Amino acid sequence: MSEIFVDKDGLKKSIERLMEHCRVVGPVFRGQYHEFAQLKEVGELDLTYRNTRLSPKDLFHPHSDRMFTYTLAKDDPEAGILKEAPQDYSPRVVLGIRPCDARAFQLDDTNFVTEEFKDPWWVKRRESTTLVGLACNEPCGTCFCTTVGTGPFDEAGLDVLLVDVGDGYMARPVTEKGHRLLAEAGLTSPAPAEVKKKAEDLQKSAEQGLGKLFSVDAIAGQNSLELFNASFWDEVQFACINCGTCTFLCPTCWCFDIQDEVCGDKGDRLRLWDSCMFPLFTHHGSGHNPRSQKLQRVRQRFMHKLKYYQDKYHQGVACVGCGRCVQHCPVNIDIRQVAQLMSASCIC
């Protein structure tokens, strides 16, 4: 690892340079909260942010996405035949993403990219994007990344990790892609030892405050059917109003719906975020619904994230501890508490 140091002005200049050649996306403050958006000017970028309200999953899996287009014109020989809709896959740099969110993309990869099927939109967007992370010097009270196997300085899923060391940033290239990005952005001055030391100290203090709230392994060790039939779900589900807030804000909730829309004789096949919280999600054409009850849907969400995913892929839980659902659930259902119940490491 050859860490680089760049002062804050220097980073801005490098970003401006990047912006001339590719799309640069970063956290900007819009209205009431931060969101990832393509930068129009470097001044929009706000690297002092805590985290974005919505996860950056929409960079790879937008809420609404055009998959195919087609014509229904009767006289057109191509009528009814679907064509892939054009998309912008030009090179893109995402700046300042938090390590938890970057880790989330790795977890999502297991879903979108399997041995048999590769989701082309996910893959092409992932491929054309370089992720430059920003370490969390001050995690929030709702963060629990270290509990679920990532951390405020985790490099997993990133190409470069930036650490804000006060007067500038230490940039650590993580991948070959990251190395090249730094080189081509003109960032070459090696970080002095005291900067590295500072970054290390920041990491220690950030991690210290986080601790471990429940055991992921304990949940893995539970019998799936016993967990499924556990009595605590009744209490967990009571407050839930079955809105899509948790699933839509979550960086590892990838479920989607596919819908056709027609306008005149032109049609689109679109995909859009869907949520296991919605009754229609599993509603059969026959009227039968295997998850017709709120309890079943709430249980599904937590079981999927914390148990099924572990059992299926053996790489931890499908949660990165970003805390968005904890902060924004309108009725204060707290995944940390649910996980504690599931791991039975506390008697609440």
Partner 1 sequence: MLSAGFAGEGLAGWRGLGAIAASGPWRNEVENPYLPYPVRIESVVTETEDRNLKTFKLVFLNPEDEARFNYNPGQFAELSVAGLGEIPIGIASSPTEKGFLKFTVNKVGKVSSHLHNMCAGEIMGVRGPMGNWYPWELLEGKNVVIIGGGFAFTTLRSSIVYMLDPANRPRFGDISVVYGARSPGLLLYKDELAAWERRDDIQMHITVDGTDDPAWKYNIGFVPTVTKQKAPSSENAYAIICGPPIMIKFTLPVLTELGFPPDRIISSLEMRMKCGIGICGRCNIGTEYVCKDGPVFSLQKLAQLPNEY
Partner 2 sequence: MADWEPRIVAFLCNWCSYGGADLAGVSRLQYPANIRIIRVPCSGRINPKFILAALRHGVDGVWVSGCHPGDCHYIEGNYYARRKFGLLKGLLEHMGIEPGRIQFSWISSAEATKFAETARTVVDRVKAIGPARHFIKRQAEVA
Partner 3 sequence: MHAYTDKIREIARRLLSENRVDVVIGYRRGTVPFMNEPYLAKTPEQADRLHWDGFCGVNLANYLPRRTDRVGIVAKGCDSRNMVVQILENQIPRDHLYIIGAPCKGMLDRKKIAAELQGKEALTAEENDGKIQIQGKGFQVDLDRQAFLQENCAICIHRNPVIYDELAGDLVTEQMDVDRYADVRQVEAMTSEERWNHFDQLIHPCIRCYACRNACPQCYCPTCFVDESTPQWVGKTVDPTDTRTFHFLRAYHLAGRCTDCGACERACPVGIKVRQFTKKLEKDVLDLFGYEVGLSLEDRPPLDTFKPEDPESFIM
Stretch 149-188 residues interacting with partner 2 (CB under 8 A):
none
CB of 97 to partner 2, least distance (A): 18
Which distant-in-sequence residues (6+ apart) come within 8 Å of 30 by Cβ?
Answer: 37
Give the C-alpha separation, 196 to 161, whole Å.
13
Find, among 37, 23, 273, 251, the residue nearest to 129 by Cα.
Answer: 23
Stretch 53-72 residues interacting with partner 2 (CB under 8 A):
58, 62-66
Terminal Cα-to-Cα distance of the chain (whole angstroms): 45
Q: Give me the residue label for tokens 């919280």.
A: 277
When the beta carbons of 11 and 54 are compared against partner 3, the nearer one is 54
Angle between helix 335-343 and 294-303 (nearest 10): 80
Binding mask 153-182 for partner 1 (x = CB under 8 A): ----x-----------------xxx--xx-
Residue 263: contacted member of partner 3, partner 1, partner 2, none (CB under 5 to 8 Å, by partner type) = partner 2
Q: How far is CA 31 from the centre of its chain?
A: 22
- 89 is a site residue for partner 3 (CB under 8 A): no
Residue 38: contacted member of partner 3, partner 2, partner 1, none (CB under 5 to 8 Å, by partner type) = none
CB of 109 to partner 1, least distance (A): 6
Give the C-alpha separation, 244 to 282, whole Å.
15
When the beta carbons of 77 and 86 are compared against partner 3, the nearer one is 86
- 40 is a site residue for partner 2 (CB under 8 A): no
Which residue type does 218 have? A
SS3 270: strand
The count of other CB atoms within 10 Å of the CB of residue 152 is: 23
What separation in angstroms does the CA of 53 have from each of 127, 147, 322, 324? 25, 21, 10, 7
Q: Which of 32, 90, 208, 231 binds partner 1 (CB under 8 A)?
A: 90
- 326 is a site residue for partner 3 (CB under 8 A): yes
SS3 149: coil
- 270 is a site residue for partner 3 (CB under 8 A): yes
HSE, CB side, 13 Å, CA atoms: give it for residue 89.
12
Q: What angle do CA 252, 253, 255 make, to 5 degrees?
A: 135
CB of 50 to partner 1, least distance (A): 27
Candidates 41-49, 97-105, 244-252, 263-271; binding stretch for partner 2 (CB under 8 A) = 263-271
Query: Using CB under 8 A as the criterion, which residues of the chain lie in contact with partner 2 when the complex forms?
Result: 58, 62-66, 261, 263, 266, 268, 270
Query: Using CB under 8 A as the criterion, which residues of the chain lie in contact with partner 3 when the complex forms?
Result: 31-33, 48-50, 53-54, 63-64, 138, 140-142, 235, 238-239, 241-245, 247-249, 257, 259, 261, 270, 272-273, 275, 278-280, 326-328, 330-334, 336-337
